[in-house]
Amino acid sequence: MEDLIIIGGGPAGLTAGLYAARAKLKTLLLERLAPGGQILTTDWVENYPGFPEGVSGYDLVDKMKRQAEKFGLTIESQEVQRLELTAEKKMVFTDSRTIETKALIIASGAAPQKLGIEGEGLFTGKGVSYCATCDGPFFRDQAVAVIGGGDTAVEEAVYLARFASRVYLVHRRDKLRAVQLIQERARSEPKMHFIWDTIAVKIVGDTGVKGLDLKNLKTGEMKHLPVEGVFVFIGYVPNSSLVKGILPLDEWGFIKTDNDMETEIPGVFAAGDVRSKALRQVATAVGEGATAAYMAERFLERVKDNI
Ligand code: NAP
């Protein structure tokens, strides 16, 4: 039996793992692929304290992983299929085994929201992308469109301007949601072109993307935009399907916790992007991971004579 299982190896899970392993809890971190999470798709992180010059998402998470492993955290690549959670007993069923744990931290993160329009699925990986860091260099000297108006869309659009000949930012309103500093960077980038009050209705192409059919929401006018790449950054959906029907979720599916990261079930915690909250950042994820691990340790102290 494990003292603690952590599901998810992004900044929240790795920080929880660091704290728990350092507190000498028998801790296992389960990650579906390789540790890292969404931060791996972020080119450059410049608002995580301690790195005045900024740091690449890859380097940051690699350092977190090595630091946690130094204190004895065990990380295994296994996909969790199912959970059985009660105050008394917590069972984790992975694709290869069944593990009982005394406490659990869910740090399974979030995944990019899809547009849900014709051509999106067909051309995913063939011109439609949700990761500029991964796919930007494929679009050297080509025109690309970015959908969305939040921090991610605008920041990634500026990044794509390094490679692309033109970057069209298609936003459904006439005002960006992104913070001012990021907006200013985009406005001063000569390759950026803003298309306001407009949604994408169809992605068209043959073996790859050839263009985007757009609709102006104010005038109703339809327009075809020839582009070779379409990058979608319209928010994220939580990876919370494992606990649907087991734990209370908010209206968007994020896991509800108290201020100590504990869910309705004693000994079950959530941290990072999968948790219901206002701000999803590496800085908030690591704080929540640390708190969840500390509260898990206190939970184990409390129940040690009963489990
Ligand atoms: P977000 O802030 O939720 O923005 C999503 C954007 O997509 C909005 O502009 C929204 O339009 C648009 N949108 C949503 N659904 C759409 C649809 N079906 N069709 C067309 N457009 C649609 O998401 P995010 O930019 O990924 O940011 C998520 C969180 O991460 C935020 O808290 C953000 O501050 C943070 N973040 C911070 C940084 C940084 O500090 N450097 C970088 C990246 C992300 P409306 O504006 O009309 O709603």
- What is the tally of helices (H) and strands (E) in the chain? 6, 19
What's residue 248's pLDDT?
Answer: 97
For residues 225 and 194, state if they share a domain: yes
- DSSP letters of 196-217? -SEEEEEEEESSSEEEEEEEET
What's residue 307's pLDDT?
Answer: 64
What's residue 221's pLDDT?
Answer: 98
Distance in angstroms (rounded) separating the CA atoms of residues 181 and 114? 26
Asked if 213 is an active-site residue, the reply is no
Q: List the structure tokens of 293.
A: 């691990």
What's residue 197's pLDDT?
Answer: 98
**Tens of pLDDT, residues 256-306:** 999 999 999 999 999 999 999 988 889 999 999 999 999 999 999 999 877
Q: Is 296 exposed, middle or buried (0-12, 13-18, 19+ CB in 10 A)?
A: buried
What's residue 304's pLDDT?
Answer: 85
Rounded to the nearest whole angstrom, what is the distance from the C-alpha of residue 169 to the centroid of ligand 1?
A: 13
Distance in angstroms (rounded) separating the CA atoms of residues 281 and 278? 10
Question: Which domain CATH number covers 123?
Answer: 3.50.50.60
Q: List the structure tokens of 271.
A: 């941290």
For residues 121 and 181, state if they share a domain: yes
Catalytic position from the list 3, 43, 135, 151: 135
pLDDT cut 70: percent of the chain above it: 100
Per the DSSP assignment, residues forming a β-bridge with 167 are 144, 192
- Give me the residues of the chain with pLDDT under 70, please: 307
For residues 130 and 199, state if they share a domain: yes
43 lines ligand 1 (CB under 6 A): no
For residues 70 and 132, state if they share a domain: no
What's residue 287's pLDDT?
Answer: 98
For residues 134 and 221, state if they share a domain: yes
For residues 34 and 83, state if they share a domain: yes
What domain range includes position 68?
2-111+236-306
**Tens of pLDDT, residues 101-137:** 999 999 999 999 999 999 999 999 899 999 898 889 9
Distance in angstroms (rounded) separating the CA atoms of residues 43 and 217? 32
Taking residue 275's Cβ as centre, other Cβ atoms within 10 Å add up to 27
Q: Is 62 exposed, middle or buried (0-12, 13-18, 19+ CB in 10 A)?
A: middle
What's residue 33's pLDDT?
Answer: 82
CB of 138 within 8 A of CB of 162?
no
Asked if 305 is an active-site residue, the reply is no
For residues 270 and 133, state if they share a domain: no
Q: Considering 186, 216, 232, which residue would you say is the last residue of a domain?
A: 232
Q: Is 78 exposed, middle or buried (0-12, 13-18, 19+ CB in 10 A)?
A: middle
Nearest CA to ligand 1 atom 34: 151
What's residue 42's pLDDT?
Answer: 73
CB of 183 within 8 A of CB of 176?
yes
Substitution site in 234, 276, 280, 284 for ligand 1 pocket (most atoms within 8 Å of beta carbon):
234
CB of 195 within 8 A of CB of 169?
yes
